[in-house]
Amino acid sequence: MNKIAQYLNEHILGEVTSSKSVREHFSRDGSVLKITPELVAHPRVTNDIRKIARFTWQLAEKGHVMPITVRGGGSDQTGGAIGKGIIINTVAHLNNIIYLSTKNRDQFIHVQPGTSFGAVNEILKSHGLIVPSFPTSYNFSTVGGAVANNAAGPLSGRFGQTGSWVNRLEVVLANGDIIETRRISHHELNKKKGLQTFEGEIYRKIDGLIEDNQKMLDEKISKDSCDNTGYSGIGKVKQRDNSFDLTPLFVGSQGTLGVISEIILNADFFMADESIVVAVFDKPEAAREAADIIAKLDPESLDLIDGRLFAKAENDYGKKFMFSNIDSGSDDGAILMVSFHDFKERARRRKVKHALKKLSKFDTKVFTDKDYSLDELHAIRGISSLVLQPDADNESMPPLIDGASIPTSRLGDFTIALAELANKHHVELPYHIRWIDGVVHSRPLLQLHTVSDKQKVFKLISDYAELVKRFDGCLVFESSEGRTKATAAYAQLDETVLNLYSQIRKIFDPFGTLNPGVKQSADLSTLISNLNPDYNLDDFAKYSPKI
């Protein structure tokens, strides 16, 4: 056995292995990259993480960097859950729900990072509650991963990203020290700054960094920004009343500032009843116009889905939908799906009535839950579960550009420009748009074993980043940038902002032991060398992966 693995096994309650087969499994996540770690650790308690972090810190002090990468369900689509050093796997043991509060106006759930987001919401629903910012991958992704990516999901247009629901965190720092983050008063901040510890040093330096860069923060990093690029959460750390909270920095940091070991999420009331309207359009222009109108009815979710996805499902896989025999399901069509979750049935039915009235002005075919089951209608939104898994050998549809957010007022022109970009790269880019928050999903069909498609990967990401910027959007919205998007995302940022982000990282991770290569620019040759030509969704196939 590896000597480091043997040493760590002597000192922690969990397990550390250098098994080739285990390391091979953890060399992949949901991205198109592959990096094989030296070791995989399965910590049983937070103290195990502390000991591993302390060990790597001491090695780094002597000039030997052994990186640590924390990992949940491995669904990260940006290469943020893979690394060369030690993988800290939270799913094996750190997957417990610690406490649940259902008190009125004090509803929260306290969990370990490896807990499935789906399991959390199932427990909450049994008490009439929910964390509504769950990612689409909630069945196989973890709460820790969602927080580390500040993930968005199907309902984020109405309820915000995961970070909006984080109450407080417990974090293991790079040196093994442990801190708890929450909003503290100015008086408490001064006490923290007086500590002669690594924690005190962090508070002193971050507070000083904010004071020195306040003008730039106000002008270039909005406090209300939902952009997950870099450490944009710095804009939310210090409020006008001088209260201070490091939580926004750790949210979306992908384990590059510390290892999140416990999480408290706020919860909201769960409304199980739902009303759905599906409208099928011959032309996407009409569907976009209708989406703008329907959005004013305050729906829970509003999806615009490219007709090409349904045409592919029908032609290649024989899938049938309620609208399969009408022209609107053709390549040129578009599907609009709207969901209302109002607590009172009367309110939902009133909104449905208004939606149907507005849709009647268009040449469209409409389907509702009055005539079809909710399961039949939900299958429409889940169309990607089928088309993302091509049958042909060596073909795949990797998540290279998923998750950007475009202002809804510009989505129409954006889809036209997206078609032009697809033509430039000789690929098809059918889209699925969550209209309320403007999140766009679009995946090319590639053969990553071919040289031409390997070269296409990062050029496509770069060109897409420029396109998103041209339409005033955020490339990094639904999750963080990880490895795959970092270089393209940073090319769009001001040099002073990049310098600030670099300083923040240096404060928390002076020896570069926390997930190096993630949320950092990389040269093209390095990225290409890490490409996984065998990329597929087999690790998540049992969950029917979807957008």
Q: Which two tokens stand for residue 68?
A: 């640590």
Residue 545: the pLDDT is 64
CB 141 within 8 A of CB 220: no
CB 113 within 8 A of CB 215: no
Report which of 122, 120, 180 is spatially closest to residue 145, judged by C-alpha positions: 120
Q: Is the pLDDT of residue 108 over 70?
A: yes
Please give the Cα distance from 406 to 435 (Å, whole number): 9
Q: What are residue 71's DSSP bridge partners?
A: 89
Element (H, E) at 417: helix 411-425
Residue 384: the pLDDT is 82
424-442: per-residue pLDDT in tens?
999 999 999 999 999 999 9
Single-letter code of the amino acid located at 241: D
Report which of 257, 212, 193 is spatially closest to residue 499, judged by C-alpha positions: 212
Structural domains of the chain, ranges and CATH numbers in brackets: 97-269 (3.30.465.10), 274-481 (3.40.462.10)
Q: Is the pLDDT of residue 330 over 60?
A: no
Calculate the alpha carbon distances from 395 to 104, 136, 388, 444, 469 in Å: 51, 23, 10, 10, 30
How many H-runs (helices) and E-runs (strands) does the chain carry? Answer: 20, 18
Q: Is the pLDDT of residue 88 over 90?
A: yes
Residue 331: the pLDDT is 62
Name residues whose C-beta falls within 8 Å of residue 24's C-beta, 6 or more positions apart in sequence. 36
Confidence category of residue 222, pLDDT binned at 50, 70, 90:
confident
Name residues whose C-beta falls within 8 Å of residue 230's C-beta, 6 or more positions apart in sequence. 481, 489, 490, 493, 497, 498, 501, 519
Report which of 486, 76, 510, 80 is spatially closest to residue 255, judged by C-alpha positions: 80
Residue 393: the pLDDT is 83
Q: What is the DSSP letter of 34?
A: B
Calculate the alpha carbon distances from 86 to 83, 460, 484, 515 in Å: 7, 31, 20, 9
Residue 462: the pLDDT is 97
Radius of gyration of the chain (CA): 23
263-289: per-residue pLDDT in tens?
999 999 998 899 999 999 999 999 999
Confidence category of residue 328, pLDDT binned at 50, 70, 90:
very low
Phi then psi for residue 467, to 5 deg, are -65, -45
Calculate the alpha carbon distances from 179 to 46, 186, 401, 442 in Å: 12, 18, 35, 39
Q: What are residue 514's DSSP bridge partners?
A: 68
10-48: per-residue pLDDT in tens?
999 999 999 999 999 999 999 999 999 999 999 999 999
Q: Is the pLDDT of residue 178 over 50?
A: yes
Q: What is the DSSP letter of 514?
A: B
Average the pLDDT over 146-174 and give the result. Answer: 96
Residue 337: the pLDDT is 97
Confidence category of residue 323, pLDDT binned at 50, 70, 90:
confident
- Collapsing DSSP to helix, strand or coil, 290 comes out as helix
Q: Is the pLDDT of residue 544 over 90?
A: no
Please give the Cα distance from 216 to 113 (Å, whole number): 34
Q: Which two tokens stand for residue 175?
A: 């040196």
CB 177 within 8 A of CB 198: yes
Q: Is the pLDDT of residue 223 over 90?
A: no
294-320: per-residue pLDDT in tens?
999 999 999 999 999 999 988 888 888
Q: Is the pLDDT of residue 395 over 80?
A: yes
Average the pLDDT over 389-410 and give the result. Answer: 92
Residue 325: the pLDDT is 61
Angle at 432 between CA 280 and CA 367, to 5 degrees: 25
Q: Is the pLDDT of residue 247 over 80?
A: yes
Report which of 251, 279, 249 is spatially closest to residue 263, judged by C-alpha positions: 251
Report which of 391, 396, 368, 402 is spatially closest to residue 475, judged by C-alpha positions: 402
Residue 390: the pLDDT is 85
Calculate the alpha carbon distances from 460 to 254, 422, 454, 456, 540 in Å: 23, 9, 10, 6, 25
Q: What are residue 268's DSSP bridge partners?
A: 130
Where do the DSSP E strands lie in 341-479?
Answer: 364-368, 404-405, 431-434, 439-442
Q: Which two tokens stand for residue 510?
A: 């002076």
- Collapsing DSSP to helix, strand or coil, 517 comes out as coil
Q: Is the pLDDT of residue 480 over 50?
A: yes
Residue 39: the pLDDT is 98
In the predicted model, what is the mean pLDDT of the chain? 94
Single-letter code of the amino acid located at 19: S
Residue 1: the pLDDT is 63
Element (H, E) at 336: strand 334-340
Q: Is the pLDDT of residue 329 over 50?
A: no
Confidence category of residue 456, pLDDT binned at 50, 70, 90:
very high
Q: Is the pLDDT of residue 293 over 60?
A: yes
Q: Helix 284-294 crosses helix 345-359 at what angle (to 10 degrees)? A: 140
Q: Is the pLDDT of residue 463 over 90?
A: yes
Specify the higher pLDDT residue, 389 or 128.
128
Q: Is the pLDDT of residue 327 over 60?
A: no
Confidence category of residue 419, pLDDT binned at 50, 70, 90:
very high
Angle at 500 between CA 482 and CA 237, to 5 degrees: 85
Phi then psi for residue 17, to 5 deg, are -135, 150
Report which of 37, 65, 58, 71 is spatially closest to residue 512, judged by C-alpha positions: 65
Q: Is the pLDDT of residue 326 over 70?
A: no
Q: Which residues of 273-311 are buried (b: 16+ CB within 10 A; e: fewer)?
A: ebbbbbbbbbbbebbbebbeebeebebbbbbbbbbbbbb
Q: Which residues of 429-452 are buried (b: 16+ CB within 10 A; e: fewer)?
A: bbbbbbbbbbbbbbbbbbbbeeee
Q: What percent of the chain has pLDDT over 70?
A: 98
Average the pLDDT over 163-168 and give the result. Answer: 97
DSSP string, 90-126: -TTT---EEEEEEETTEEEEEE-TTSBHHHHHHHHHT
